[in-house]
A = this chain, B = another copy of it.
């Protein structure tokens, strides 16, 4: 019923001019006279013409597409995607999202992006082996967000990386608590990954820098509420004299706070708690969690810039952008009792 979509040929016929001229006029390229351009634009508007991306991608040998893999349930990824989309648009690119799910691994997600002829890949917190990422990068520029890749930076490992300095972030949290007067600190860690390791290490160094390493504790967990719940129960049961807690993520912090609320422990009166990610969860009206922000806006901008530099700027060298995290103080921290 809906008669075939108008093509550039239809526009040309209506404007009484050749296809080539129409193509130039529609893109505002030099060539057509002002009068002709106006006529073309009018004809296109009247027909409701829209260029066919597939056709122009084919002719241009470019898609101007950035592919993003994300874990669709991760709130921080969602924030990043939002910002990436905006940044890409500004740079004249479109983004294609590919979701990593339980049933669809990162590898499959990347495949579909490659099929769409994305010109660069932005991978959010990828968990593929580094070797595979490097191999991928040899065909299509890859920008890794959030995860640190090899410290060594061996030759051939040309991946771009955008991340925040996790150690510095934890340090901000520790400094904040110590500045408020806390001396007995606890870190609830996120487990085995690179990110959790960096944060744990950052905690150890920060407390040592304040000469408090003898009194600091670390509890291991994973990046989930349940880890916070376990840690809080352990703390209360053992009767530790801890007054300040640095969690490796907001979700951990929320689990922790939930137990405290149930047990009637005053926050921040008796215990101060700092989260990590400054996720929307932390910002909720009734939570108001003090947290370390990874600056999703800046990360997104840097990642898109890195990709565009490779594509349009001819950069070939590896770039690693390490952003400084920022502490957002809300209502879960105060001087110790």
The verdict on A72 contacting B63 (CB below 8 Å), with A115-B53, A229-B285, A261-B262 known, is: no
Determine the distance from Cα of A78 to Cα of B94 in the docked complex, in whole angstroms: 21
What chain B residues lie within 8 Å of A89 (beta carbons)? 104
Q: Is A315 an interface residue (CB 8 A)?
A: no
- Tell me the nearest residue of chain B to A77, going by C-beta: B72
- Tell me the nearest residue of chain B to A58, going by C-beta: B54
- Tell me the nearest residue of chain B to A57, going by C-beta: B54
The copy count of this chain in the complex is: 2
A78-107: which residues lie under 8 A (CB-CB) from chain B? 78-79, 81-82, 85-86, 89, 94, 96-99, 101-104
Determine the distance from Cα of A53 to Cα of B112 in the docked complex, in whole angstroms: 10
CB of A142, distance to nearest CB on chain B (Å): 13
Q: Is A29 an interface residue (CB 8 A)?
A: no
Q: Are A85 and B104 in contact (CB under 8 A)?
A: yes
Q: In the complex, which of the residues B85, B224, B285 contacts A101, with contact meaning CB atoms closer than 8 Å?
A: B85
Q: Is A9 an interface residue (CB 8 A)?
A: no
Q: Is A259 an interface residue (CB 8 A)?
A: yes
A247-303: which residues lie under 8 A (CB-CB) from chain B? 255, 258-259, 261-262, 264, 280, 284-287
The verdict on A117 contacting B82 (CB below 8 Å), with A225-B285, A262-B261, A286-B258 known, is: no
Most buried by B among A115, A261, A264: A261
What chain B residues lie within 8 Å of A128 (beta carbons)? none
The verdict on A258 contacting B255 (CB below 8 Å), with A52-B117, A285-B229 known, is: no
Q: Is A73 an interface residue (CB 8 A)?
A: yes
The verdict on A99 contacting B72 (CB below 8 Å), with A2-B139, A114-B50 known, is: no
- Tell me the nearest residue of chain B to A255, going by C-beta: B286
CB of A69, distance to nearest CB on chain B (Å): 11
Determine the distance from Cα of A285 to Cα of B228 in the docked complex, in whole angstroms: 11
Q: Is A18 an interface residue (CB 8 A)?
A: no
Q: Are B229 and A286 in contact (CB under 8 A)?
A: yes
Determine the distance from Cα of A98 to Cα of B82 in the docked complex, in whole angstroms: 10
Q: Is A138 an interface residue (CB 8 A)?
A: yes
CB of A247, distance to nearest CB on chain B (Å): 14
CB of A305, distance to nearest CB on chain B (Å): 18
Q: Are A54 and B50 in contact (CB under 8 A)?
A: no
What chain B residues lie within 8 Å of A138 (beta carbons)? 2
The verdict on A54 contacting B261 (CB below 8 Å), with A73-B79, A86-B103 known, is: no
Q: Are A104 and B78 in contact (CB under 8 A)?
A: no
Q: In the complex, which of the residues B57, B75, B101, B115 contacts A50, with contact meaning CB atoms closer than 8 Å?
A: B115
- Tell me the nearest residue of chain B to A56, going by C-beta: B54
Q: Are A55 and B58 in contact (CB under 8 A)?
A: yes
Determine the distance from Cα of A86 to Cα of B35 in the docked complex, in whole angstroms: 51
Determine the distance from Cα of A104 to Cα of B114 in the docked complex, in whole angstroms: 26
Determine the distance from Cα of A53 to Cα of B54 in the docked complex, in whole angstroms: 8
| 17 A-B contact pairs sorted by A residue (CB < 8 Å) | A2-B138, A2-B139, A51-B115, A54-B58, A73-B82, A73-B280, A81-B99, A82-B101, A86-B103, A86-B104, A94-B116, A97-B97, A225-B284, A226-B285, A258-B261, A258-B286, A259-B286
Closest 8 CB pairs of A and B: A97-B97, A54-B57, A261-B261, A54-B54, A72-B78, A82-B101, A226-B285, A229-B286
